[in-house]
Structure 1
C-alpha cells in the first residue's frame, strides 16, 4: 500500500509538472501573440473616444463600461468559440471572414472621409442635435460594439496565427488571455482619455501654482486631443481595413495589391538608410489606407446610391 501511494503521488507530481509547463507555454504564446496585435490595439483605442463626444460627462464612464462589456462579449462569447472551431475544422474560411471585416472597416472610414469632404451624411453624426439622449447613447454603444467586433476579430485572428500550441484548449486559453488583456488595456486607456478634462479641472483648483497651470493646460488640450483622436481613428480604420484586404487577397491567390504595397515598402526602405524601418512601414500603411479608402468609397456608393441604404453611426 505505501509503495502504491508513493507511486500515486509520483504520478500526480508528473501531471502537475506537465500542467505547469503547459501553463508556461500558454502564457508565453499569449504574450508573443499579444505583442503582434499592438497596431490594432492602438487603432481600437483611437476610435473609441469619439463615441462619447457630445454626451453628458456623467455618462462617459458608464458608456465606456457598456462598450467594454460588449467588447468582452465579442471576444469571449462570439469570436473565441468561432476561432477555435474554424482553426480545427475550416481554417481556410478564416481569411474570407477577415476580409469581410476589413471591407466593413474600409466602408466606415471612407464614409467619414466623404462626409467631411461635403458628401451626404448617413445616420447620426457628432454635429447633429441630440433629440433623445437615451436612444442616441444606445446608438453610440451599438456602433462602438459593432466596430469593436471587427477590430476584435482582427486581434483574435492575428493572435491565432501566432500561436504554435498543439491542442485546441491551449489555443483557447491563450486567445482568452490575450482578449482579456487587450480589452483592459484599450478601454482603461480610453476611460483615462475621456476623463482628462475632469482630472485637469480638479488639478486646476488646488495645489501649487505649477499644478494649477498644468490642470488648466490639460483642460484646454482635451478638445484638441479628441479631435485628433477622431482623425486618427478614421485613418486607422482605413489603414487596418486596407491592410486586411491587401493581406487577404494575397493569401487567396490575388497578388497585385500585396505586390504594390510591399514593393513600395521595400523600395522606400532601400533608399532611406537609417530610417528604412520606419519609412518602409509608413509607406505600407499609407498604401493600405489608400486602398481602403478606394474600396470603402466604392462600397459606400453601391450601398447608398444603388441600394439606397441609410446607415446609423
Structure 2
C-alpha cells in the first residue's frame, strides 16, 4: 500500500498544473505517494497539462462534466490507495511542503484527520475573509465541531475516514463534521497560504448563502441522524398540545354561548393540531428510513476504534516492567 494519496480537484487551472506538480515532487520525493488530479470538466488545457507531467506517480481522473468540488473530491478519494489521503487545492494557494509535518502529527499522535489553518490568508477581506469567518462561527456554534478554519482544503486523513465521508451536493465545506459523524479524532495545525498567481478564482458570494441550507442539514445529521423522532416528535407533540389547549378553550367559550366561528384563534388551533400530526408522521417515516439505511447496507450506528484483550494489556504491562 502506498503511504500517501494526494487528491487535487481542478477546474480550468492549466497554468497551475506544472508548478504544482513540481512542488509536490520537491516536497514528497522521500515518500511513496500518488497524486490524483481530478479534472472536473475543464474547458481549457488543464487535461493536456496533467498528461504532460513526466512522472508515473501522477494520475488523472476525468469527469464527464463539471459536477462541483464535493463530487470531484469523492471521485478522487474513491481512486485513492494510500494509507493516508491528502486533499489540497489546485490553485497553488495550499503549499505541499506542509504535508510532511501534518502527516507526522497524524502518525505520532494517532489523529484520524489533521486539518490546516490558513495562516495569514491571502484573500480579499470583504469577499472572502469576512464571509468565511462568519460561516466558521455559525458552523462551530451549531454543529459543536470546534474548528478554526473549515474552508482550508489542505487536510490529511486516514484512508478509512476519507472513504466513509459520504460527500454529496456541496458538503465539502463540512468535511470535519462528516468525519466527526464517523467518530474521527480531529486536530488542526497552521499551514502556509499563498495568493493566487494564475487563473481565476471560482469562489463567489453565492457559496456563502448556500452554507446556511447545508448547515441545517449538518445540524440535523450531527444531532438527530440516529434519532430523528426526538426532533420531529418533540415539536409535533408540542404543537398538538398547544393546538389542543386552544381548541379546549374555544370549546368552553362555545358552551358558554359565545360565537367562535371565524376567530383567528380557531384557525390557529386547527392548524397546530394538523401540523403536529404531520410532523410526528414525518418523524415515524424518518425512523423507518434510518433503519433501512443501516440494515440494507449492513452498517452499524457505532464505530469501533479498537478492541484490546485484557490478556494483551497484561502482557504489555509485564513486558514494560
Q: State the TM-score, normalizing by the size of structure 2.
A: 0.22
More strand by share: 2
More helix by share: 1
Q: State the TM-score, normalizing by the size of structure 1.
A: 0.23
- Larger relative contact order (CA 8 Å, sep ≥ 6): 1
